[in-house]
A and B are shown apart, each in its own frame.
Chain A
Amino acid sequence: SQQGEEDPQALSIQEGENATMNCSYKTSINNLQWYRQNSGRGLVHLILIRSNEREKHSGRLRVTLDTSKKSSSLLITASRAADTASYFCNAPSGGSYIPTFGRGTSLIVHP
C-alpha cells in the first residue's frame, strides 16, 4: 500500500492564483517529500520537510506538515503556466522503505 495519497486529483487555476494540494499518509514518518512531474518526463524532487518541522519554504513553494493529522500541504504562490504538472508526495517511514506513489494532483495553470 502506498504511503502518501494526494488530493485533489485535479486542480485548474488562473495564472497568478495560489495552488494548494494535500497529502495524507498512514504511519509515522521520517520526512515527507514532494515531487513534480512535467508531462512525459521523470519526477523531480521539489522539497523535503522533516518530521520535526512544521513549515518549510523554497522560493514560491510552501510546505506544511501536521503529524497529528498525518497530512501535508503544498502551496504554490503566484502560479505560472510553467507550474502546470502533476505533483506527488512520498513519506518514508523508516526501516526498509519502498517508495510507492499515489495518482498525484494534476495542476493546470491557465495563462
Chain B
Amino acid sequence: DGGITQSPKYLFRKEGQNVTLSCEQNLNHDAMYWYRQDPGQGLRLIYYSQIVNDFQKGDIAEGYSVSREKKESFPLTVTSAQKNPTAFYLCASMGLSQETQYFGPGTRLLVL
C-alpha cells in the first residue's frame, strides 16, 4: 500500500530532552511538510522540504529541527528549546501536481 506513516503514535518527553518524530512516505513525492496542531486550532507549518537535502523554515520553526537525507524520510526533532511542545504533529507529502496532500496519522507529543 502506498502511503505516509508516522511513528510513534504517542511520545512522552521529559524536560530538557530532545525527541525525534519519524515520517516516512513511499509515494515518491518530492515535497514533505511538518505541521503542529493545538487543540481546537488549525495546522501551523513548522518546516517543509521540496527536495532532498534541502528544507525551509515554516511559520513556527523555533525549537524544532529537521533533516531530509532521503526522499522517503523527513524526521522532525523537537529540541529542549521548544518550551511548549505538547501538541499533535502531522506530517504530509505532496507530488509535483500540487493537487493533493497526503497526511500521516499523526504523533501526539506529551510532556512528563
- Interface residue B61 (Cβ < 8 Å from any Cβ of A): no
Given the interface pairs A31-B99, A41-B106, A43-B101, the reply to whether A99 lies near B90 with Cβ below 8 Å is: no
Q: Which residue of chain A is the closest to B103 with respect to CB atoms?
A: A42
Range class of the A interface residue count: 20 to 34
Range class of the B interface residue count: 20 to 34
What A residues does B105 contact at CB under 8 A?
A: 41-42
- Interface residue B104 (Cβ < 8 Å from any Cβ of A): yes
Question: Complex formed: what's the CA distance from A99 to B93 in Å?
Answer: 10
What A residues does B33 contact at CB under 8 A?
A: 99
B106 engages A30 (CB within 8 Å) = no
B90 engages A92 (CB within 8 Å) = no
Contact of A103 among B42, B88, B94 (CB under 8 A): B42
8 A Cβ contacts from B77-112 to A:
88, 90, 92, 94, 98-106, 108
